[in-house]
Amino acid sequence: MLLLTIALTFRSEAQTIFIEPLSPRIVTYAISVSLDPVEKMLTGKETLTWRNTSTDRVGELQFHLYLNAFKNTASTFMKESEGGHRGITMADGGWGWIDVTSMKTAEGEDLTPRIEFIHPDDNNEKDRTVIRVPLSKPVLPGQTIRLSIDFTAKLPRIFARTGYYQNYYMIGQWFPKIGVYEAAGQRYAVKGQWNCHQFH
């Protein structure tokens, strides 16, 4: 079996254009992932560091698991699109998904059992594109939290700009991606809340 290994470190590989960033750096990702081209599977390890830039005590984190939009006909995306996108329908057996197999804090606390699917947009309990993770202690204003996340993903046959066709891969939104925490007054938020929508 041939395995292609891709290592991505988003913050250290970028060329510096501005001395000062144009926006605050809130999250960094270091991701190591392997692609099994026979099974069309990704196996990854992600180190995520998130900084609380609000004045709130943030007691949970929320993440997008966008590949789960292609898991079955019950996802919000598939229901809204009636199983099609730009005249193309999902091929039989072409489904894809993502699973978080482990999530731990830098201190070693296992958060995996706390992972819970939520459905903030439409209460579709079968949608699996957003998770919340309650924390044992909140992230205080100005503090950071570092997580180690292991995940596996099955790529769908190419559909809606995502997936594979033979040996061609179009892979976007393929890793657990933290949502955006908005403090009161930010983008119409009445109180501090996560902006972490389902895949539509």
DSSP output for 140-191: -TT-EEEEEEEEEEEPPBSBTTBEEETTEEE--S-S-EE-EEE-TTGGG-SS
The count of structural domains within the chain is 1
Q: Is the pLDDT of residue 41 over 70?
A: yes
Which of 107, 122, 1, 3 minimizes the C-alpha distance to 69?
Answer: 122
- How far is it, in rounded angstroms, from Cα 63 to Cα 199? 12
Domain of residue 156: give its range: 4-195
- Mean pLDDT, to the nearest integer, of 77-82? 71
Torsion angle of alpha carbons 13, 67, 200, 192, nearest 10°? -60
Is residue 145 situated within a structural domain? yes
Helices (H) and strands (E) in the chain, counts: 1, 15
Q: Is the pLDDT of residue 189 over 80?
A: yes
Is residue 200 situated within a structural domain? no
* pLDDT tens profile 49-76: 999 999 999 999 999 999 998 898 878 8
Looking at 7-16, 23-32, 138-147, which range is the least confident one?
Answer: 7-16
| Reported confidence tier of residue 83, pLDDT bands at 50, 70, 90 | low
Beta-carbon contacts of 169 under 8 Å, excluding residues fewer than 6 positions away, are 35, 155, 163
* The pair of three-digit structure tokens given for residue 141, joined into one six-digit string: 């204003």
Q: Is the pLDDT of residue 3 over 50?
A: no
* pLDDT tens profile 84-125: 555 666 666 788 999 999 999 999 999 999 999 999 999 999
Is residue 43 situated within a structural domain? yes
pTM for the full predicted model: 0.85
- Do 116 and 132 meet the contact criterion of CB atoms below 8 Å apart? yes
Is residue 141 situated within a structural domain? yes
Residue with the larger pLDDT of the pair 199 and 11: 199
Q: Is the pLDDT of residue 81 over 80?
A: no
| Reported confidence tier of residue 77, pLDDT bands at 50, 70, 90 | confident
